[in-house]
Amino acid sequence: MLFKVTNTAREYAWGSRTLIPEYFGVAATGRPMAEIWYGTHEGSPARLVEDNRTLGAALGGEQLPFLLKILAADSPLSIQAHPNSAQAVEGFARENAAGIGLHASDRNYKDDRHKPEMIVALTEFEALCGFKSTKQIRNLLESMLDPTDVSDGLTSIVKHWLELFSGQDGLQKLFVDITNRRGNLDGVTAELTQQANLSAQFELAARLNLLYPGDPGVIIALLMNHVWLEPGQALYLPAGNIHAYLSGLGVEIMASSDNVLRGGLTEKHIDVAELEAVLNFEPNEPHLVKTRDLAKGLVEFETPVDDFILYRADLSGGVVLADLNIPGASIVLCTAGEIALSNSIEERVVLQRGEAAFLGSDAKKFSLAGSGTAFLATSALS
Convert the pLDDT of each residue in 134-162 to its tens digit. Answer: 999 999 999 999 888 899 999 999 999 99
Give 176 or 364, the one with higher predicted confidence.
176
Segments making up each domain of the chain, as ranges: 8-129+227-278, 134-217, 291-378
Contact 340, 283 (CB under 8 A): no
* Residue in 330, 354, 328 with CA at minimum distance from that of residue 39: 330
- pLDDT value of residue 57: 94
Beta partners for residue 298, in sequence order = 295, 313
* Residue in 274, 262, 283, 246 with CA at minimum distance from that of residue 182: 262
Q: Please give the CATH superfamily to which domain 8-129+227-278 belongs.
A: Jelly Rolls (2.60.120.10)
What is the value of pTM for the model shown? Answer: 0.94
* Residue in 301, 292, 285, 316 with CA at minimum distance from that of residue 132: 285
Q: What are phi and psi of 339, to 5 degrees?
A: -125, 130
Q: Using pLDDT thresholds of 50, 70 and 90, give the confidence band for residue 278.
A: very high
For domain 291-378, the question of CATH label 1.20.120.1200 is answered with no
- pLDDT value of residue 154: 93
Dihedral sign for Cα 77, 225, 112, 65, please. Answer: positive
Evaluate if residue 346 carries a pLDDT over 90: no
Q: Using pLDDT thresholds of 50, 70 and 90, give the confidence band for residue 382.
A: low
Q: Calculate what percentage of the chain has a pLDDT beyond 70.
A: 99
The mean of the pLDDT values for the chain is 94
- pLDDT value of residue 364: 80
Evaluate if residue 351 carries a pLDDT over 70: yes
Q: Give the model confidence (pLDDT) of 20-67 as tens digits.
A: 999 999 999 999 999 999 999 988 999 999 999 999 999 999 999 999
Evaluate if residue 197 carries a pLDDT over 80: no
Catalytic annotation, residues:
262
Segment 66-93 mean pLDDT: 97
Where b means 16+ CB within 10 Å and e means fewer, 52-85 reads eebbbebbeeeebbbbbbbbbbbbbbbbbbbbeb
Q: Calculate what percentage of the chain has a pLDDT beyond 90.
A: 86
Evaluate if residue 81 carries a pLDDT over 90: yes
Segment 245-255 mean pLDDT: 98
Segment 99-103 mean pLDDT: 93
Cα 331 from Cα 381, distance rounded (Å): 14
Q: Using pLDDT thresholds of 50, 70 and 90, give the confidence band for residue 317.
A: confident
Segment 64-93 mean pLDDT: 97
Evaluate if residue 116 carries a pLDDT over 70: yes
- pLDDT value of residue 198: 67
CA–CA distances in Å: residue 216 to residues 78, 154, 264: 11, 14, 6
